[in-house]
Amino acid sequence: MIVRELGEFDGVLSENDDLMSIVTESRSQEISDDSFIPRSYFDLALKRIEWYAKKKNDRNFDHKQYDFLFNPDINKFDVIAFFLLCQAIGVKYGPNSRESRVLVESQGKLIENRLGKLSKIERNVLVTNILNSLLSSAHIKWTFFEDLISSKKLKLHELILDSGEIILDKDDFLERFSHKIQGRKPEKMYEALIGDRIKELVMIKMVMQNTENYIRQVGERSNREIEPNPILLELADKISEVLLASVQTFGQGSGGYGGSVKASALNPKAFPPCVKKVMEGMKSGGRNDAIIMFLTPFISYARLYPAVFSENITKQISDVDPTLSIIQNEILPLIFGAAERCSPPLFEDQPQDKVNLNAKLGFGMHQNPELKNEGETTWYTPMSCEKVKIHLPSLCKPDETCKKIGNPLSYYNRKIWVVKKESKAESAVEEDIKD
């Protein structure tokens, strides 16, 4: 389709006057800087990814820089940009990559935001039309959504089922349930239980799943067939650069004490007393909760996203550790070492807890952390001091710093700040002596 539209693939890189005209004429578009304006299909594809990365991570995100993405006139160009992204990511990284996850998530979020720009009637008509094109039958068995449910994109409890069939259509709902509903109007029950909300949810999740499936097909085909077009490989590299820039700018953690707390190698000297105690190994009961529930979130956030509470932005681990190299080479060895020092060693008699550990990092109930499973569970944030006192009281032996904070991670950030401040002061004294 791309080649048919462009004539030659090289057209992807060419400046497109129609595209630039649509962008600059978008009602609220910021045009004070040339960098805000995509000039080609290639640029537009990157802007799509950049929009999602900044919207997710930048507290100062300015929607006016990306208003063109919500201009209906850009649809034709946007479709081509979408397929460019899928093909670039498919041939270079495959479906089980951070780049694939970001594209799939961004597609869902873009649809959600675009629907928000429409009137209720326009929204309903569009969602109904898209659903009709995606669903093969009016009667849908829940097993049709097996991929969505198994990948946690859609949860079974969000749907209304009857005899194994998912109910989305209003007339279908009324026919099946009207005679069973007492004391309330069946129409209102339909709106409360299904209505536009569930139909939109199903539509968006199906588009996301289809996007992932298409990336997988592209990846499989590229492994069997000819060498990928260099433009797609170049685009894939640029996508990674956009995501890396997002990590370096917004994902390393900032703010906190003196605005200087950023992700860096762990300093065990700054650990609070409760963490030091677990690192030495638990000698009695509570090993599981201490290692899995307490230490795992603390170590992972302290290393990768220490500003989680001050920034209050939800992230996944691959947002701050794209290749999972820090997880594999720094974080897991520390946690496994603490587990090994327990009496008895935690994973020797309870190896299944490695699965629970991965679940607390957001990688689902699997033996090893892998990008393809990320998002199946939530990356747990560190326990507060109050929760530690309630669930693991033997760990709480507070020192003077503990009295000033409410979370072990805040203790760590404060100590790191103090250490850096003292180090600067010592350096200044040494310089004075030299002078």
The pLDDT tens digits for 70-91 are 999 999 999 999 999 999 999 9
Strand 165-166 and strand 161-162: the pairing is antiparallel
Cα gap 106→50, rounded to integer Å? 10
Cα gap 307→305, rounded to integer Å? 6
Interval 243-263 mean pLDDT: 60
Strand partners, 260: 255
pLDDT at 404: 85
Cα gap 91→226, rounded to integer Å? 11
Burial degree of 382 (CB within 10 A; 0-12, 13-18, 19+): buried
pLDDT at 252: 47
Beta strand spans in 350-419 (E): none
Strand partners, 255: 260
pLDDT at 258 over 70: no
Q: Which residue in 279, 258, 318, 388 sits closest to 99, CA to CA? A: 318
Rg of the chain in Å (alpha carbons):
26
Q: How many CB atoms lie within 10 A of CB 295?
A: 27
Q: How many CB atoms lie within 10 A of CB 292?
A: 23
Mapping DSSP to helix (H, G, I), strand (E, B) and coil, where does residue 48 land? helix
Q: Where are the alpha helices (DSSP H) in 287-384?
A: 287-288, 296-304, 308-311, 317-320, 325-326, 332-340, 346-349, 353-360
**145 falls in which pLDDT band (50, 70, 90)?**
confident
pLDDT at 356: 94
- Name residue 262's amino acid: K
Cα gap 322→311, rounded to integer Å? 20
Mapping DSSP to helix (H, G, I), strand (E, B) and coil, where does residue 15 land? coil
Q: CA distances (Å), 410 to each of 212, 301, 306, 401, in order?
A: 38, 11, 8, 10
pLDDT at 385: 95
Q: How long, in residues, is the chain?
A: 435
Cα gap 340→129, rounded to integer Å? 57
Residue 243 and residue 406 in contact, taking contact as beta carbons nearer than 8 Å = no
Average pLDDT over the chain, rounded to an integer: 88
Encoding tokens for residue 294?
């307490």
Between 43 and 432, name the one with better pLDDT.
Answer: 43
Q: What confidence tens digit (pLDDT) does each residue in 27-63 have?
A: 899 888 888 999 999 999 999 999 999 988 787 889 9
CA angle, 22 then 26 then 31, to 5°: 95
- Name residue 289's amino acid: D
Cα gap 188→75, rounded to integer Å? 35
Cα gap 219→266, rounded to integer Å? 37
Q: Which residues contact 195 (CB under 8 A, 6 or more apart)?
A: none
Interval 100-114 mean pLDDT: 94
265 CA to centre of own chain: 23
Burial degree of 268 (CB within 10 A; 0-12, 13-18, 19+): exposed
Q: What confidence tens digit (pLDDT) does each residue in 159-205 have?
A: 899 988 999 989 999 999 999 998 899 999 999 999 888 999 999 99
pLDDT at 254: 42
Question: Which of 61-75, 217-231, 416-430 bottoms out in mean pLDDT, i.e. has the lowest?
Answer: 416-430
Q: Which residues contact 33 (CB under 8 A, 6 or more apart)?
A: none
DSSP for 174-225? Answer: HHHHGGG--SS-HHHHHHHHTHHHHHHHHHHHHHHHHHHHHHHHHHHHHHHS
